[in-house]
Amino acid sequence: MTETLLAPLAPKMTPTSTPFWAALGEGRVVLQQCDGCEAWVFYPRPRCPHCLSPALSWKPVSGRATLTTWTHCPRPTAPPFTGLAPQTLAVVTLEEGVRMSTFLLETAGRTLELGMALSPRFVPTEDGTATLLAFAPA
Amino acid sequence: MGTQRKGAIVGYAEWPTVRRYDGPRRFMLEQWMDLAAEALADAGLALEDVDGLVCGTLREANMFVPATVVEYLGQPVKFAEFVDLGGATGTGMLWRAAAAIELGLCDVVLCALPGLPIPSNPDPRDRPPPEARWLGSTSNAWGSPQAEFEVPFGNVAQNAGYAMIAAHYEARFGSCERARAQISAQQRASAALNPLAAFYEKPVSLDEVLASPMIAEPLRLLEIVMPCAGGAAVVLASPEKAKQSPHRPVQITGYGESLTIKTPTFADDLAVTPVAAAAATAFARAGTTPAAMDLLALYDCYTITVLLTLEDAGFCPKGAGAAFLAERNLAFDGDFPVNTHGGQLGVGQPGLAGGLLQPIEAARQLMGRAGPRQVRDLNRALVTGTGGVMSEQVALILEGA
């Protein structure tokens, strides 16, 4: 994969998650944190899924993560991803403890390991409407 | 625990599971009627005996599914349920039916899951969108977290999700590649004896499984179910009504259900599935243990599902599944019979009906109707159902009365 990678599918963004996508468009990562129980929340919600408080604040975070699992897919997982095959899909855990789905970049010559450190990469979508949060070995 | 009035499986219908169906196409409601007639005949019961009904999704109705089926069958009921648990729908239907009978709400409950192709719709506006074919269990509707946070990365349908569960497991506990291939090969050996299976008389060797194409590492083609056409139905009855059946009643003495996540991205521990909670509940309710099981019929959308189910249901410790399997033979005449019909890996997956094939095989074996693959001295079986990507789980304990 190259640095000019474009993601084929845009997320169907919602009003609740607008700050998350807006930050990614500026090369920043923000997450919701509960003002009440201090839990970090992902994906974005109107209430905390730990204590149901509606008081959630958007906070800037580093975007650093560790690798929780991955699968190297020689075949595209769906027709829109044919141009990206082979793809390495992954689940990562951010420093704040929240999980997210993603794909990995810059993995050539790297041995992937559980818990390995990852840095964020910002990948625009083909239609120019959004920026996805991908990751690469740190 | 529980009451003395147990619901029992007293009859069933199972259509041959076929890869390329070239028979007549029928609406799911029409298939429901055919399945109901066959299952009731098998149970020795009549339509007017039916006073409960459990349905899954219908292509012909987005809402009011049970009422639509009741009207179509022409039989009023006192208990109706609609179950939406993916691959766990079949097992989820059975325990709800059994619980309704235990509570005295009804006496005879019909459960059916049609899985034959429906007629091609001449109106293109009524056809499902092309993306429905690759989305699988993933929702791409606006407002769905998957549409926003999974689909854009290609984490859709089931292969990648199960592969990431398997990869996480292997990163922590070591390779289970040979154990997974063993599950596939030994189930295909059983399917080779099952005339209802898509892979009847078509066994594969362990080496053939290991040599099949990689789909999503570490999962290979022959570790993944093949989509097929088919259909299945089960009739459950109260102890009084069960006396009318020509078969040994198969009581559902224990049941448990567990839902934790939709997408394994958000699982607390990717190596521990909801099977653990569902099976613990089922064993406790039945007052029995894994060691007392004579037969296992485990949901097997993927080989890794079976391995994780064995661990999480308590047959061996977490991480020990591969070593446990290496010393056992899963065939009908082996020391540890699992999925003696071939499982879905051997029979094929006729859509949601695939989730009824496990309980039907367990009932067939407990009734003594399994013919050349009959397991001897059989009284208790564990049956599981798995939906989505290990996202919903049902466990049943079946006991011959």
Determine the distance in angstroms separating the CA of A92 from the nearest CA of chain B, rounded to an integer: 8
**Res. B3: pLDDT tops 90:** no
pLDDT, one tens digit per residue, over A117-136 is 999 999 999 999 999 999 99
Segment B220-228 shows an average pLDDT of 98
A-B CB pairs within 8 A amount to 111
With a CB-CB cutoff of 8 Å, which residues 223-262 of chain B face chain A? Answer: none
> Domains of chain A: which residue ranges?
17-61, 62-138
Q: Do A89 and B266 touch (CB under 8 A)?
A: no
* Strand B380-387 relative to strand B295-297, pairing: parallel
Confidence at B127, pLDDT banded by 50, 70, 90: confident
- Rounded to whole angstroms, the Cα distance separating B10 from B33 reads 18
SS3 of residue B320 by DSSP: coil
pLDDT, one tens digit per residue, over A56-115 is 999 999 999 999 999 999 999 999 999 988 999 999 999 999 999 999 999 999 999 999
CB B299 within 8 A of CB B87: yes
Print burial letters for B359-373: b (CB count within 10 Å at least 16), e (below 16).
bbbbbbbbbeebeeb
Go through the domains of chain B in sequence order and give each one's CATH number: 8-116+224-400 (3.40.47.10)
Which residues are CB-contacts of B62 (< 8 A; sequence separation ≥ 6)? Answer: none
Comparing alpha-carbon positions, the chain B residue that sits nearest to A12 is B148
Q: Is B5 on the interface with A (CB under 8 A)?
A: no
- Pick the more confident residue, B3 or B114: B114
**Res. A1: pLDDT tops 60:** no
Report CA-CA distances (Å) from B376 to B187, B295, B325, B342, B366: 18, 10, 21, 17, 9
Confidence at B122, pLDDT banded by 50, 70, 90: confident
Query: Which CATH number describes the domain made up of A62-138?
Result: 2.40.50
Report CA-CA distances (Å) from B156 to B86, B129, B387: 15, 16, 15
| A104 secondary structure, DSSP code | B
Q: Do A89 and B154 touch (CB under 8 A)?
A: yes
Q: Is B129 on the interface with A (CB under 8 A)?
A: no
In the structure encoding, which two tokens stand for residue B240, read together? 């009084």
Print burial letters for B310-330: b (CB count within 10 Å at least 16), e (below 16).
bbbbbbbeeeebbebbeebeb
Q: Whose structure tokens read 């399945």? A: B35
